[in-house]
Amino acid sequence: MRLAHMLWQNITDQPPADKYVVWTVLALAAMGGAAVYSAVTYFAEVRAGTEPVHFLVRHLARVGVALGAMAGVSLIDYRTLARYSRLALLGTLGLLVLVKIGGLFTPGADRWLRVAGMGLQPSELARVALVFYVAVLLVQKQDYIQSFGRAFAPILVWVGLTVGLIGLDDLSTASVVLVAVMVMCFVGRISAVQLSGLVLLGAVLVMGQVATSPERAARVEAYLGIDLFATTSPETVMDAQGERYQSRQARMAFAMGGLTGVGPGKSVQRDFLPAPYNDFIFAIIAEEYGLIGALALLLGFCVLLFRGYLRIARDAPDPLGLLLALGCTTMIALYGFVHAGVSAGLLPVTGLPLPFVSYGGTSLLSNGVMAGVLLNISRHSHTDLRS
């Protein structure tokens, strides 16, 4: 009883966290629960042979874990977490290597590991660990931040290893991670000349992966509407039932939704879109709740971006908090905007989930951790403002 009392006292003594971030995450999760229940109906009944509520319960359980992680991390000093960032990054790099080795022998296993009967996506853990460790390195090397050998080269090595391993099978995630790191490096006073090295790294990664993967090349061609690569079949790429199928069905969902939508649970395109409960959940929301619902969802990510940049990062008590807030905010918001852009046909098809909304496990957990970091930094900014 005494231990429980001490723990409760420690929690209640904590300064308040940013309430706008809390309520926005809860609102996104609530909308995600309703959208997933609707989107998974066809898959559950026709393909899985079970009731949609089965998948809803699994999703809500994972959302609960993510929100629990957010609450827990919000109570742990981010500077304490940062001390273990190198070990965490090394561990996730090991998992990335392990999953690539497994993918050599098990088709389709090159993004996931099976742990206790559940899927684990190491790239989701690696992106959080990388943000932490890059922030630590930038702070440690501020006295000689303009030095290529002492400051930028070590950062480039860690970023190159992580982004390279992720990008072997998940180019979209690798690209978003690289953009977040670039924002952190820019604010961390890395020179423009050296920062161009990260841009070059991203360009080489994208061109290499597109040139060596007929599937990615076909997606680029389908998006642009022109034949660019000799490794692809123009007939398949331009076929409405081929590479253009997903984006075409998503755009139809937007068209059917109109301004106010067809109504909750009345989506038609969920029967035609691949993974409507994950990769194209935004299209289902646009169909059922219309343009108004889609814009309301995007407003949530704008709130997170605004609070993360102009409140939490700006008022962070130290450079480490500033850089972590920038990295976590950029990662969450960019995931949301890219997912929406793909669903609306503005970007090539990727596999990025919509944070706190899409059906998932590891992605929900990683976003919960990053939101918890933002809340923890906001708690310390309150502390500093009071003192």
All residue ranges of the chain with pLDDT < 50 are: 3-8, 104-109, 384-387
Q: Is 275 a domain residue?
A: yes
One domain, residues 253 and 374: yes
Question: Is residue 177 domain-shared with residue 140, that is, in the same domain?
Answer: yes
One domain for residues 264 and 378: yes
Residues 341 and 311 grouped into a single domain: yes
Give the end of a domain, one of 197, 212, 227: 212
| Same-domain check for residues 191 and 59 | no
Give the tokens for residue 118: 């559940």
Domain assignment of residue 9, yes or no: no
| 354 shares its domain with 375 | yes
Res 6: pLDDT: 45
Tell me what pLDDT residue 237 has: 61
Q: Which two tokens stand for residue 253?
A: 């969902």
Tokens representing 384? 């500093």
Taking the C-alpha atoms of residue 168 and residue 26, their distance in angstroms, rounded to an integer, is 33
The answer to the question of residue 312 being in a domain is: yes
Q: Which of 212, 234, 264 is the last residue of a domain?
A: 212
194 and 58 share one domain: no
Residue 148 in any domain: the answer is: yes
Residue 226 to residue 242: CA distance in whole angstroms: 15
SS3 114: strand
249 found inside a domain: yes
- List CB contacts of 167: < 8 A, sequence separation 6 or more: 173, 174, 175, 205, 209
Q: Which domain holds residue 102?
A: 81-212
**Same domain assignment for residues 312 and 368:** yes
Cα–Cα distance measured from residue 352 to residue 340, given in angstroms and rounded to the nearest whole number: 10
**CA 72 to centroid of chain Cα atoms:** 20
C-alpha closest to that of 338 among 301, 370, 289: 301
Does one domain contain both 107 and 191?
yes
Could you tell me if residue 12 is inside a domain?
Answer: no
The answer to the question of residue 287 being in a domain is: yes
Name, in order, each residue with C-beta under 8 angstroms of 192's C-beta and a sequence gap of 6 or more.
none
Kindly state whether residues 40 and 162 are assigned to the same domain.
no
Alpha helices in 153-213 (DSSP H): 153-167, 171-187, 192-212
Same domain flag for 176 and 108: yes
Cβ atoms within 10 Å, residue 239:
13
84 vs 53, 67, 165, 322, 369, CA distance in Å?
Answer: 39, 22, 21, 18, 15
**0.75 exceeded by the pTM?**
yes
Do 71 and 117 belong together in one domain?
A: no
Percent of the chain with pLDDT over 70: 82
Domains contained in the chain, number: 2
The reported pLDDT for the residue numbered 351 is 78
Q: Point out the domain boundary residue: 212, 234, 255.
A: 212
Question: How far are the Cα atoms of 15, 16, 383 from residue 8, in angstroms, in the given order?
Answer: 14, 15, 19
DSSP H or E stretch at residue 289 = helix 281-307
61-107 residue pLDDT tens: 999 999 999 999 999 999 999 999 999 999 999 988 888 776 544 44
pLDDT score recorded for residue 241: 57
233 falls within a domain: no
Tokens 């000349």 found at: 193
Under the phi-then-psi rule, with left for phi > 0, alpha for psi from -120 to 50, and beta for the rest, what region is 62? Answer: alpha
| Rounded Cα–Cα distance for residues 292 and 188 (Å) | 38
